[in-house]
Amino acid sequence: MKIKGLNELLIRRYSDISTYKKGEKYLKKGNILSIEQHGQTLCAMIEGDNRISFETKILFDIGGILDVDCSCEGANWCEHVVATLLGAINQPEMIKHRLDLKELLEKRNLDELKGLIIKISENNTDMEHLFVRYLSEIDAQSKSSSSDNLGKDILSSKISQLLTGKDGVSGGEGASGKEGDFVIVDSNPFAKKVKHIIKKYEGRPNTDDAISELSALVDEALEFVLNGDGRNALAVMEPIINIYVQQWMELDGSLGDTSLFFEDLDMAFAKSILIGEMTRDENRKYIKKIEQWQQKLDSDGIDNAFVLSMASLLQGWDDPILRLILIGEKVSMSVWGKNIPEYASLLTAIRLEILDIQKKYQEYLNLALHEECFFDYLMMLIKVKRPEDVVENGKRMLIYNYQALTLADELRRNGYLNEAIEIAEYGLTLEGASLSKLALWLSERNEALGERKKALDALIIAFREEPSLNDFLRIRELANNDEWPEIRNNLLTEIGKATLSKTTFNISDIIDIFLHEGLLNKAIKIVDKESEHYKEVLRVLDAAIKEKPEWVIKNACARAEEIFEQANAKHYNKAATFLKKAQIAYNQTKMVDLWSDYKNGLLKKHATKPKLMALLEKL
């Protein structure tokens, strides 16, 4: 299967000029060591500079490219990715086609799969842990069946998930205690680490590194949250907060980041509270603990530092109204009654995150719908495989085009390309700052599917929002010969008018288009009075020397003289560059004597400016 919709202009769209040229050079010099395709993945080994090799990976589907990645860790569309894609276009015979992982696993019998598991697990304890977990799941799923085929199918699926990176491991500090069969982490190391960090950065004016290290500790608690382990999350968070509340003033808080860190602590603590079950005694213990922390912080001038955590303890999941909402009952009132606090939306977002982690998807949908978290509601509909409902509800709930773009992309990544395109088409009618990106996304998908006219129409919308020569050329390729003259005339007229008033357009892109189309007068009109875009002015001066030398002389000399009059020595080099353009234009008109007279006049007028004199004498 080829990458549909792949072409050189697409590559240029996402890579800058120097990156594209470098990738092109790698292709021509034979720096592509290998390219392999298995399923919908293209992998290559590219020899870069200093003979260092980098591995690229291109993921695609029937809608075109999904993701690009490179081990160089540079920009996504780096020169190695560019070389890979150019190789796929220009040298497709280099590609070695192999079966994808799922197909390879399906060809193996159960004994071979067992051997594979043992081999992978021998030197990788993380993978061993995951295999144990997955095999336990298999036991549960196949308990009622003795079929080897069932075991093999499930095992193949699990191995595929592991080896394609669709699962992961997480964990925290070492275990020390138990509650029944439940292992509880030792909280003492966390308390010591917080003390060490505060001591380490005590008195330093910049506390960014301190907050970063403290945040890493909080992240360990959040790993437990992601695993649904509330007890260990609380065991980690409590000492972190306890020490920070007592000692945070020892850090320099002049930039405000040390006090803002309480917001992060509050959110993490609230998640830790809501992820697990808690006895009444534990609940009362943490309420009292928060009250003690807040009493200390009141004296430090910090109000309501743990408002989310306190609300989580007081409401929990047992609030009568909340329980009705979660089971899908129609409830007209809010969980908060008439007085909705400022933090209500934050706590709702935390509740939704917890429900997602707990795989309580219907409860998630019920709460999101009641609290009018419509975008979250739509994203969850994708997760529970209800694409038709996404489309139906999306057309009522979406407000901005950036939401439509995110939703469409998520639909596509979950295998619902048709629904993704329908949402994207609807998104073109919405307001927002992402119209161009959305239209480009839609154009690329339609082009990959062979829908030329739809791809063309979407690309024209994108061009009108953000004109570029690259997209102008692609529009030309997509348009039929009988369509192109009218489309070309309309687009050039529109950008010509808009450039004079719409400052969001990139002047360099507009000049690219006008010069490419031989519309020198339009390019001149853009830069004639332009005072900021130095490089663009020079480009137009160069382009106009043969056809409009008189304009070049007049414009370049006026710019140089303005700099001289301002006596701004740091811009004298620019002035000299302008005069060099004027000199070439004088030569073009065969008026060399006039240039000599003009130059001598400048030397005489500015004789007291030694730096300027040196530059003029070189002309």
In terms of DSSP bridges, do strands 64-70 and 53-61 run parallel, antiparallel, or are they unpaired?
antiparallel
Last residue of a domain, one of 317, 352, 375: 375
Closest CA to 376 of 392, 360, 358, 394: 394
Same domain for 278 and 343, yes or no, is yes
Tell whether 180 is covered by a domain.
Answer: no
Q: How far apart are CA 112 and CA 117, in angstroms?
A: 9
As a whole number, mean pLDDT of residues 560-576 equals 88
Give the end of a domain, one of 375, 410, 429: 375
Residues 113 and 94 in one domain: no
Task: Clarify whether residues 253 and 341 are in a common domain.
Answer: yes
Tokens of 103: 């197909």
Model pLDDT for residues 70-83, shown as the tens digit of each residue: 999 888 899 999 99
* Residue 157, pLDDT score: 59
Tell me, what's the pLDDT at 401? 97
Parallel, antiparallel or unpaired: strands 32-38 and 41-47: antiparallel
Residue 130 is predicted with a pLDDT of: 73
> Given pLDDT bands bounded at 50, 70 and 90, which one contains residue 175?
very low
Whether 62 and 127 map to the same domain: the answer is no
Question: Given pLDDT bands bounded at 50, 70 and 90, which one contains residue 169?
Answer: very low
Q: What is the mean pLDDT of residues 586-612?
A: 88
Closest CA to 214 of 168, 245, 169, 171: 245
Question: How confident is the model over 573-587, as a mean pLDDT?
Answer: 93
Does residue 501 form part of some domain? no
Evaluate whether residue 446 is within a structural domain: no
User: Of 154, 156, 134, 133, which is closest to residue 145 (Cα–Cα)?
Assistant: 154
pLDDT (average), residues 380-403: 98
140 and 72 fall within a common domain: no
Percent of the chain with pLDDT over 90: 70
Number of domains in the chain: 4
Strand pairing report for 64-70 and 182-185: unpaired
Position 309 in a domain: yes
Q: Check whether residue 261 and residue 371 sit in a common domain.
A: yes
Q: Which of 45, 63, 98 is the last residue of a domain?
A: 98
Q: Please tell me the distance from the alpha carbon of residue 501 to that of residue 603, in angstroms, as a whole number.
A: 40
* pLDDT value at residue 265: 97
In a domain, 277, yes or no: yes
Give CA–CA dist 175/186, Å, rounded.
6
Query: Model-level pTM?
Result: 0.84
How far apart, in Å, are the Cα atoms of 97 and each of 41, 53, 121, 474? 10, 21, 28, 30
Indicate if 194 and 217 belong to the same structural domain: yes
Residues 210 and 339 in one domain: yes
Q: 15 with 86, same domain?
A: yes
Question: pLDDT digit string (tens) for 183-229?
Answer: 788 999 999 999 999 999 998 888 899 999 999 999 999 999 999 99
- With a cut of 70, say whether residue 147 has pLDDT above it: no
pLDDT at 460 over 70: yes
Please tell me whether residues 158 and 211 are part of one structural domain.
no
pLDDT tens profile 60-106 = 999 999 999 999 988 889 999 999 999 999 999 999 988 777 777 78
Asked whether the predicted pLDDT for residue 177 surpasses 70, the reply is: no
The pLDDT value recorded for residue 591 is: 84
- Does pLDDT of 148 surpass 60? no
Looking at residue 149, its pLDDT comes to 55
pLDDT tens, residue by residue, 113-133: 778 888 887 877 777 777 776
Per-residue model confidence (pLDDT) at position 470: 96
Q: What average pLDDT score do residues 581-601 get?
A: 90
Is there a single domain that holds both residue 89 and residue 116?
no
Query: Element (H or E) spanning 489, and its range?
Result: helix 484-499
- Structural contact between residues 245 and 296, judged by C-beta atoms closer than 8 angstroms: yes
- Return the DSSP state at 3: -
- Residues 115 and 77 placed together within one structural domain of the fold: no
Does 443 fall in a domain?
no
Q: CA 179 → CA 133, 176, 285, distances in Å?
A: 21, 11, 17
Per-residue pLDDT, 284: 95
Span 469-493, pLDDT tens digits: 999 999 999 999 999 999 999 999 9
pLDDT at 420: 98
Name the residue range of residue 588's domain: 545-617
Structure confidence at residue 170 as a pLDDT band (50, 70, 90): very low
Please, what sign has the CA dihedral across residues 337, 342, 344, 345? positive
Residue 118 has a CB neighbour count (10 Å cut-off) of: 11
Q: Is residue 45 part of a domain?
A: yes
Q: Mark out the alpha helices in 567-609 (DSSP H runs).
A: 572-588, 592-605
Tell me whether residue 497 is in a domain: no
Confidence of residue 174 (pLDDT cuts 50, 70, 90): very low
Mean pLDDT of the chain: 89
